[in-house]
Amino acid sequence: MKVRCSGPVLAAAVLALGTAALPPAYADDMDPREIYEKAAPATVLVAGEGGSGSGFVYDAEKGLVATNAHVVEGQASLKVMIGDKTQPARLVGIDPCEDLAVLELTSVPPDLKALEFGKSKDVQTADTVTALGYPASIGGVGQKAVYTAGSVQNPQVADAEPSTSLPRYPALIQHSAAVNAGNSGGPLLNGQGQVVGVNTLGSGGDVQGQFFSISGDHARSVLDGLAEGVRKNDPGWILMGLDDPSLSTWFEDTDIDPAAVEKAQKQLIDSGVTGVFVVTARSNTPAAKAKLGLGDVVTAVKDTKVESVGGICDILQSASPGEVLPVQGVYSINADGKEMKFGAGWETDLTLDKESTTTGQ
């Protein structure tokens, strides 16, 4: 099963524990085993037809599960594994520009456990934190959530844009508790076993031992809206930065030749093109209705040059429901050599939905 990853900064699929020495615990902190036993039953594996990630139950009565948007974006037939049982789930709300989503179990088990949110504003440098999730290197029904522990390195990382393929994150917690591929969407816990973050990113390249979780205070304010059935900043496409070195890897195990993508990417960059690459567009969405699809490279939206997913999000977040956004771009691997020539420009209008409610994937 493929793990949902987006951009080179997501951690590699390696099952490893943090090696740094843990800071002293506060007197009222729970024992690590107590934290695990409290949180593991509410930490879930989220799986779709195209990959998997993690999540956690935060409302047991309603059967609501929080996770990252990049875990479920574009996925069909979502399922949630709770212990040794698998439950069908539906997408209730999603905001790719916040990288958050809410799922609802179609049938709520009577013994379902939930995690409570703590106050991430109270998290301080050197606090001990715990990350739970389902790394990609293990799998199968009945597997248990994996525990990693570390310390907070920076409790307030603001407006981070770690990759041109990722949105701009308003509030992150940087820590050393390992977050591997597959852990995305799982909980980051304080010493009382409360959620203070949503595990999202791992360090990449030469940087080691730095991991990032969306601040729990920020996430909770977004989740409340998504739980009402809101789909925000989601025209129905999946985008990656044209200059993202991992762009071609998205097409592994597909009918598209990754080498052809890499070749087209290099040709466009060498010719001075900047923008974002449309990986896919779901049917019956604003993107599909605008005839946007695989291989289109978006270079400008609303007469504003765009070079990253974060730039696209800035425009979407300031747009109104139902607004018509002029979009410009060029052809790449979708060029047919006739009407659509490689590198040639195109224009279209992207009409946003008037109502930002979910209508399924």
**Would residue 70 show up in a list of annotated catalytic residues for this protein?**
yes
Pair of tokens at residue 80 = 């949630």
- For every residue of 95-136, DSSP letters joined together read ETTTTEEEEEESS--TT---PPB--GGG--TT-EEEEEE--T
Dihedral sign of CA atoms 315, 316, 320, 323 in order: positive
- Residue among 52, 54, 120, 184 flagged as catalytic: 184
User: Closest Cα partner for 328 from 291, 303, 353, 294?
Assistant: 303
The position carrying tokens 């990253």 is: 308
Cα–Cα distance between 139 and 142 in angstroms, integer?
A: 9
- Residue among 6, 54, 70, 127 flagged as catalytic: 70
Sequence-separated (6 or more) residues with CB below 8 Å from residue 114: 42, 57, 58, 59, 60
Task: Fill in the DSSP letter of residue 232.
Answer: -
- Residue among 99, 234, 243, 296 flagged as catalytic: 99
- For every residue of 239-261, DSSP letters joined together read EEETT-TTGGGGGTTSSS-HHHH
Cα–Cα distance between 195 and 355 in angstroms, integer?
A: 31
Do residues 141 and 81 lie in contact, with contact meaning Cβ atoms separated by under 8 Å? yes
Burial of 15 (0-12, 13-18, 19+ CB in 10 A): middle
User: Closest Cα partner for 180 from 16, 69, 7, 4?
Assistant: 16
Quick one: how far is CA 206 from the chain centroid?
22
Do residues 10 and 201 lie in contact, with contact meaning Cβ atoms separated by under 8 Å? yes
**Would residue 99 show up in a list of annotated catalytic residues for this protein?**
yes
User: Closest Cα partner for 147 from 180, 194, 99?
Assistant: 180
Give the active site residues: 70, 99, 184
